[in-house]
Amino acid sequence: MTGKPFFFDLNIADLKEQFKVLNEPPFRAQQLWQAMYVQLEHDAQQITTLSKSLRTKLHESMEFSHLTPIDRLVSSDGETVKTLFRLPDGLSIEAVLMHYDERDTLCISSQAGCAMGCVFCATGQMGFKRNLSSGEIVEQVIYYARELAKENKVVTNIVIMGMGEPFHNYDAVMSAIDRLNDPRGLNLGARRFTISTVGIVPAIRQFASEKRQVNLAISLHAANDALRSMLLPINRRYPLEDLMQACREYVSLTNRRVSFEWALIQGVNDSPTDARELASLIKGLLCHVNIIPLNPTIEYEGKPTTRENAEVFKGILESSGIPCTIRLRRGIDIRAGCGQLASKHQ
């Protein structure tokens, strides 16, 4: 870390203040913003609309990248790309690009490591290192926006579901979303973002009160406190009764549905009884359930459920009137689950 301001940490007002310090007119700040967020330039030196002297000033007074790509894996079907980045302090984070028929979705990180300790998650097994700055969150998107631009494609959706618990880094995550949503830049609509949380109840309530159009996903994985506390230790602090009340408040305040994520683990949470218990827990709530067979990790012995069990699970939910999707497992051959590549390097 050099102590210089990091471009992607700044909103447009902050950037104009930096230009005041440099004795440059504010419209130059707008030119720089446009060049970085729309033209997707890599640094000030490439921006020919700025004078050479200003480019030199900016190069000397501001940082334009905190992420150094150090590893890149592409799945055998070419549909999933995972990149491992080194941060200036030597820590590692990762981000994943997933190609679908009409979408190019990013799964990005909000922390280096994670304090939640979910037993089947590679990031949780690493432990918490530090929060990312808002700019370090933004730059993951910019990196892949540049890559997609080479193919005349754009980022269509962003899930903040990679390394870390987004609601433990609330302010930075929301600032990053605001910057990526800015119509003067990437102009990504709020509904193209999804934040996934293990269930930090006070943050869910704060998020609901702000009435954002950003999608909310809850990593649920169990419908009783005993099993959920075993899989997700945060449940001991915010048990299901409190979590479900916060979800009901979210739906009431925003009129938006909440998504529940359920990693199906063979013999743990994939039985018809588990499905009926889940249906009972969330019946009547405006919601959707995403179920996905577990992505295996080295330190967790659980195995993914079978396709047959997943279909039975889905059928029970749908017969109770609860919309449910079996998500495609992506990038298994490149260990694309959050934290798997970073934990290998660490």
In a domain, 90, yes or no: yes
Do 54 and 136 fall within a single domain?
no
From 24, 63, 94, 261, active-site residue: 94
pTM of the model: 0.93
Q: Is 324 among the residues known to form the active site? A: no
- B/e letters for 83-115, b = 16+ CB within 10 Å, e = fewer, are bbbbbeeebbbbbbbbbeeeebbbbbbbbbbbe
| Residues 165-197 pLDDT 10s | 999 999 999 999 999 999 999 999 999 999 999
Do 128 and 25 fall within a single domain?
no
pLDDT over threshold 90, residue 344: no
Cβ contacts of residue 126 below 8 Å, gap of 6+? Answer: 113, 114, 339, 342, 343, 346
**What pLDDT, on a 0 to 100 scale, did the predictor assign at position 126?**
87
From 107, 118, 247, 338, active-site residue: 338
Do 131 and 198 fall within a single domain?
yes
Strand partners, 84: 71, 94
pLDDT band, very low/low/confident/very high, at 336 (cuts 50, 70, 90): very low
| Residues 81-116 pLDDT 10s | 999 999 999 999 999 999 988 899 999 999 999 999
**What pLDDT, on a 0 to 100 scale, did the predictor assign at position 229?**
97
Choose one of 18, 33, 61: the last residue of a domain: 61
**Contact at 8 Å (CB) between 136 and 87?**
yes
Do 143 and 23 fall within a single domain?
no
Name the residue range of residue 72's domain.
Answer: 68-345
Choose one of 41, 61, 81: the last residue of a domain: 61
| Residues 244-303 pLDDT 10s | 999 999 999 999 999 999 999 999 999 999 999 999 999 999 999 999 989 888 878 889
Q: Is 79 among the residues known to form the active site? A: no
| Residues 118-133 pLDDT 10s | 988 888 888 999 999 9
Q: Residue 158, Cα to own-chain centre: how many angstroms?
A: 7
The number of distinct structural domains making up the chain is 2
Do 44 and 141 fall within a single domain?
no
Do 57 and 72 fall within a single domain?
no
In a domain, 1, yes or no: no
Do 165 and 225 fall within a single domain?
yes
Choose one of 61, 84, 99: the last residue of a domain: 61
In a domain, 2, yes or no: no
